Structure 1
Amino acid sequence: MSPTRTAEAAAEQVPSARIPLPGDPEDALIDEACRDLRLPAFRERFVEIAATARREQVSYKQFLLELLQTEVADRDLRRQQRLVRAARFPRPKRLGDFAFEKNPNLLPEIIGDLKIPSWVQEGRPLVLIGDSGTSKSHLLIGIGTAIAQAGLTVRYTTTSALVNELAEADAARRLSSVIARYSKVDLLCLDEFAYLNLDKKGAKLLFQIFTERKERKATAVATNSPFAEWDKIFNEPRLCAAIADRITFPCTLIQTGTDSYRFQATEAEHQVATR
């Protein structure tokens, strides 16, 4: 091997004397620099990664790459966590925890496709219809969580809570700012849709949200009322038709059935307890 190649090979190896180990004076300086540069994962892992690099005699580039990848992965995880918190889900639910074997109406492949954010980016609606206890809320929260983890903004609320918020904002002359805030969210998860009758004002306020989001931002709703019964909820046929148009075109429709999963689970627990 030529002297030049020997020097290059030696330069590619990380000398043990240059890698800071626990207790080395360089540790404090690196720690301070990581604080200044806001590199928490880098700061937490550099001693461990440096020790491994020294032991395995990896190159400078490999050592630096692992540190950078550690920081990138940590930032991705923290961003996912921030987006999930910002969605304001009432309880944690994951699609991975969903018992598909106890919900024969639902195909894992179809639900799994909804974890891919393309439908949200295209502004397509999602409608979950089924009786109470058929896991609509679990699916709504689980899908919303998956979309947030994919890096998009999500907001969960119930229909009644949203209408109340809009009514309060209207009374305080802040309606436009609240509607603008909801119009920017990539995915709006609206639970308990058409559960309670809405007066004309409430329906008009809700209509404004759907109008702002139509074909631009995705909205997912969970309801126990079939489309044919929505006119009884909104008490205004034309307004009901306009809202239904904005929610259902071109929507993905998931029917969760009529058999209550919660009731089945309670029955199973009761049978076990009485044996």
Structure 2
Amino acid sequence: MTEAPQILLAHHLKVLRLPTFLREYDKLARQCAAEGVDHVRYLIRLTELELIDRERRMVERRIKQAKFPAVKSLDSFNYKTLPSLNKMLVVDLARCEYVERRENVIALGNSGTGKTHIALGLGLAACQKGLAVGFTTAAALVHELMEARDEKRLLRFQKQLANYRLLIIDELGFVPLSKTGAELLFEVFSQRYERGSTIVTSNLPFDEWTEVFGSERL
């Protein structure tokens, strides 16, 4: 292939946003020629490489957008440190079928028991399935909500939160919330009810959540 067609092909592949094609087509063509592979199988191999790389980039983008404090997988969790945890339930949750059903997950336990690791692992699993995921702590979320309210962009921020297929709220109850903050946080839960899935981790038993929200009504 002369230089001019190579330049033109590179241009077309860039316009079509096929970076793996551009990077691999020449090397793979030589390999297929040496192996006697026909042009159809050559194209199949090339498109497979593009699809694999595109999925990898999509997962990386989802992980970046989720704003995880650290990327942790469920495979790296030591279940022996928490014998009471139902491993099969966690494995089942990693399939993300609960997200499709718009169900929620609550992880309760003392500090240091691995709740955040499990939540991060489930978030990573959701990213790997192409789902939009967001991660925040309860305190940080309340701070952002109050800031958005003061700057008259609360509705836009609430819509942003609603767009997450899975929203992970870590450390509920770890920091006391003001009455206004608790009301704004409860509104997030209310808006996501049966519209999206939420994972909440907390060191408080469920019956003590009224202390967080400051009202049995909430």
> Hey, what does 2:170 align to over in structure 1?
191
- What does 1:219-258 correspond to in 2, within 5 Å? 219-239=198-218
> Hey, what does 2:26 align to over in structure 1?
47
Give distance in 2, aligned partners of 1:206 and 1:71: 42
> Hey, what does 1:127 align to over in structure 2?
106
Q: Secondary structure at the match of 2:169?
A: strand
On the 8 A contact 1:179/1:208 being kept in 2, the answer is: no
1:163 aligns with 2:142: yes
Which deviates more, 51-60 or 106-115? Answer: 106-115
Give distance in 1, aligned partners of 2:72 and 2:132: 17
Matched AA of 2:110: D
> Hey, what does 2:181 align to over in structure 1?
202
Matched AA of 1:154: V
> Hey, what does 2:59 align to over in structure 1?
80
Give the C-alpha shift of residue 77 in structure 1. 0.8
Instruction: Output the TM-score relative to the length of structure 1.
Output: 0.75
Give distance in 2, aligned partners of 1:102 and 1:73: 36
On the 8 A contact 1:183/1:212 being kept in 2, the answer is: yes
> Hey, what does 2:194 align to over in structure 1?
215
Q: Secondary structure at the match of 2:170?
A: strand
Matched AA of 1:104: P
Q: CA offsets, 1:26-54, max 9 Å, x none?
A: 54443333223221111111122111210
Give distance in 2, aligned partners of 1:99 and 1:223: 20
Instruction: List alignment gaps of at least 5 residues for structure 1.
Output: 1-19, 240-275
Give distance in 2, aligned partners of 1:216 and 1:103: 32
On the 8 A contact 2:182/2:212 being kept in 1, the answer is: no
Give the C-alpha shift of residue 65 in structure 1. 0.9
On the 8 A contact 1:190/1:220 being kept in 2, the answer is: yes
Give distance in 1, aligned partners of 2:70 and 2:22: 32
On the 8 A contact 1:122/1:216 being kept in 2, the answer is: no
> Hey, what does 2:124 align to over in structure 1?
145
1:113 to 92, 98, 105: 92
Larger Rg: 1
Give distance in 2, aligned partners of 1:200 and 1:60: 67
Q: Secondary structure at the match of 2:71?
A: coil
Matched AA of 1:67: L
2:50 to 56, 60, 71: 71
2:83 to 86, 104, 121: 104
Identical counterparts, % of pairs: 35
Q: CA offsets, 1:241-275, max 9 Å, x none?
A: xxxxxxxxxxxxxxxxxxxxxxxxxxxxxxxxxxx
Q: Secondary structure at the match of 1:54?
A: helix
Give the C-alpha shift of residue 68 in structure 1. 0.9
Paired residues in the alignment total 217
On the 8 A contact 1:197/1:234 being kept in 2, the answer is: no
> Hey, what does 2:133 align to over in structure 1?
154
> Hey, what does 1:266 align to over in structure 2?
none
Instruction: List alignment gaps of at least 5 residues for structure 2.
Output: none
CA distance 1:107–1:48, shift in 2 (3 Å):
farther
Give distance in 1, aligned partners of 2:8 and 2:155: 50
Q: Secondary structure at the match of 2:65?
A: helix
Give distance in 1, aligned partners of 2:161 and 2:105: 17
